[in-house]
Amino acid sequence: MTLSFFDQFMSPVFLGIPLIALSLTLPWALFPKPTTRWLNNRLLTLQSWFINNFTQQIFQPLNVAGHKWALLLASLMVFLITLNLLGLLPYTFTPTTQLSLNMALAVPLWLATIIIGMRNQPTHALGHLLPEGTPTLLIPVLIIIETISLFIRPLALGVRLTANLTAGHLLIQLISTATFVLLPLMPPVAFLTATLLLLLSLLEVAVAMIQAYVFVLLLSLYLQENI
């Protein structure tokens, strides 16, 4: 029983072919395509309003050089939200519960911000490793600590997204299993458990959107330090 709880996090395979690539490309077919018409439908209007507000909020603290990342980060935000929300549906697979996928998204983008900082302003980028006014005896220790914290950033990005989504899916499965088990034995308790399951599902919807936003927000903060 314990092992079956983690079966939902296994990558689906059909005839020996991993289907994770299909689960990553399918959400893009759900997005409505912009048109050249003056008037759009409600879905297109809502999508445009969401992307515009998100882009303004994320890139307002950045200078003009960082605005080149607007398309990339906005697309990543929509992509992560879609994957996280689709993973809450029954009998679906959530690719963002795989640490390998989240690290594959976090490491290249984090490394790109570091390379930009080292290329454009190396003195300022290296200055983050040693705060101003540090005592001479603490300089080697602080440099080591700041370097370790710098390299932990992509790991923190991937683990944060994986852990939050995995914990939410496990809680939903545990409480739903308890509801079905308690229903013939203690219906009042099962009703309370089902109510808790409904509230947890609503919370997981919020967590799915918030974690995607936090992932992109932290990337924008790393970008802000290096431009």
Concatenated DSSP letters of 129-187: TS-TT--GGGHHHHHHHHHHHHHHHHHHHHHHHHHHHHHHHHHHHHHHHHHHHHTTT-H
Tell me the average confidence (pLDDT) per consecutive run of 10 residues in the chain, 227 residues long: 63 76 80 73 82 86 83 90 88 86 92 89 78 78 87 92 90 88 86 91 92 92 86
64: buried, middle or exposed (CB in 10 Å: 19+, 13-18, 0-12)? exposed
What integer pLDDT is reported at residue 161 of this predicted model?
Answer: 92
Alpha-carbon span 21 to 172, nearest angstrom: 25
Q: Provide the pLDDT for residue 155.
A: 93
Q: What 3-state DSSP class applies to 62?
A: coil
- Kindly tell me the sign of the dihedral angle through the C-alpha atoms of 53, 54, 55, 56: positive
Extents of the domains making up the chain? 13-226
Query: Which pLDDT does position 1 carry in this prediction?
Result: 46
